[in-house]
Structure 1
Amino acid sequence: MLRFIFTRLSHMLIALFVITVIVFSLSHLTGSPIDALLPDDATQQQIDSLTEHLGLDRPYYVQYLTFLQNAAVGDFGDSTKWKGNTAAGVVLERLPATLKLGGLAVLISVAVAIPLGVLSAIWRGSIFDRMAGIIALLGQSFPAFWLGIILMWIFAVTLGWFPTSGYGGLSYMILPAIAMAWFQIAALTRLTRSAMLEVLDTEYVKLARVKGVSERAVIWKHAFRNAAIVPVTYFGVLAGSLLTGSVVVETVFAWPGTGLLAIDAIRGRDFPVVQSVVMFFAVFYLLANFLVDVLYAVVDPRIRFS
């Protein structure tokens, strides 16, 4: 088990290193932040002075090594758009809002998709199964931004049940959380259904029924317990994609989280904040998948011994 954890941890560190290279490279392709920080009538002396102060006059490999060294201790520099704040501080200030929204979206996804997938597998070929298939198909077809706009139009503008945008309590979170969770509900439902169908046809499930075990125990104790390996594997992707997918939804609903912060930082060419947001997202995504790998090995011993 320790060897398995060490192997997965080394893979995570290699992926994180590659991500740092990509983040550093892409952030410099958007242009120089000098254009956003100085007025149009700035003198060449002002431009040269600010360039030297930000270290942009150094070779790219020197800038990358400096970035890597500082990132290792959580120092991504000072924000050029939000004066007087560090880049990491700006991200940490917005991170709780994104975690609240993403947490509610994960809760909605699991609460809806797992029972829907299990029941559609039990009643295979029924009207309920067909309805679940339609929901899954539509969920994987609707873009999150389009669904968010439609939800806002129907439930906020027309019916007036929820606020259209902004930051607040549960009523402000319902619509954006549903918009974020819809695609994941569809994917998780299909995975749960296919896994349950495979397990329900196994010999040990048939034997449990022959021995007189109650149908509820057969489904939830014997079948779902083994079929849960597939949804557990997908859960890492689910958690990571809901966090990173907040960029679009937070922009639509003006939710002041890290997603909206990333858009504002890109528009302002704030390299440190953009790098901080992406690195926070990457670390969260890698940690979520690492924990899922470990949990997967705990659930299925064949994984850690293979």
Structure 2
Amino acid sequence: MKSICRLLIYILAITLFTTACNKKELAIPPTAVVKMTFQGYSFDDTLEVVKNNEVLATLRANSSFSVIALIAVKNDKEEVGLRKKGTTAILSTFEVNRVPFEQQKKIFFDGKTVNDKMELTPVSNPANVGFRLLFKTDFPYFYGGPVDFVIWEQTVDNNTYEYTNKKITEVKNVGNAFGDFVELPRLISTDQVSKNYIFRVYKAGTTELPYKEGVDLSAIPDFEFYYGIIDAAKAGQSALLMVGPYYYSDTMLGEGFRVEDIAYFFR
């Protein structure tokens, strides 16, 4: 009888221990899988998204990107890092939650720092356009410092081709980051008159072109027409305009400026 009692006690203890273990195991959440979309823009360097030194995604340099990665989240959240390709130093980290399944991370890398909270400034009037400007170039004769943008309203008579430029505003001391937000009324062209916002770029604090001494300017016949055109933003929207000069060789500057709007990847 005593042996039977001992056996029953032993079985009961094993049962209680097993039940406790099962409850403990159930308390550990299963691994979740998150579908993360990385989108944005990176200057100069290709970036890698890493977790525990495993590369989850590659974000190409000098280009907008939109890349999907599947990320395993073991606990409530996981920490993920960003680094330059070919390096081990982590530039920035952020957390990935286990829910929802589809998530998005917007990234802007200016060549030095990572901004994963880039937001567009909304216009105050839906009839207006808004934009920020940034000057970026690998032209060897760029002087290498900040620039000033001077913005004009240009009106062109389509019959006589006469034009007038009215100075509107300035955005000063623009470096690797986007400059101050500018909001302007949307211009409307007709068959008789064309209207545009144009800009000129100067070395910060001066009215000098932002290039080194010795640059070849022979391809620019008239510096009165050496300007760029702002036409990327739609009424009611804001743009992020990256500006750089056209050039024909390592020494010869071209006519005008390229203007690229990357706001789409941060909306």
Greater relative contact order, per chain length (Cα 8 Å cut-off, separation 6+): 1
State the TM-score bracket (shorter-chain normalisation).
Answer: under 0.3
Bigger fraction of residues in helix: 1
With normalisation by structure 2, the TM-score equals 0.24
TM-score of the aligned structures, taking structure 1 as reference length: 0.22
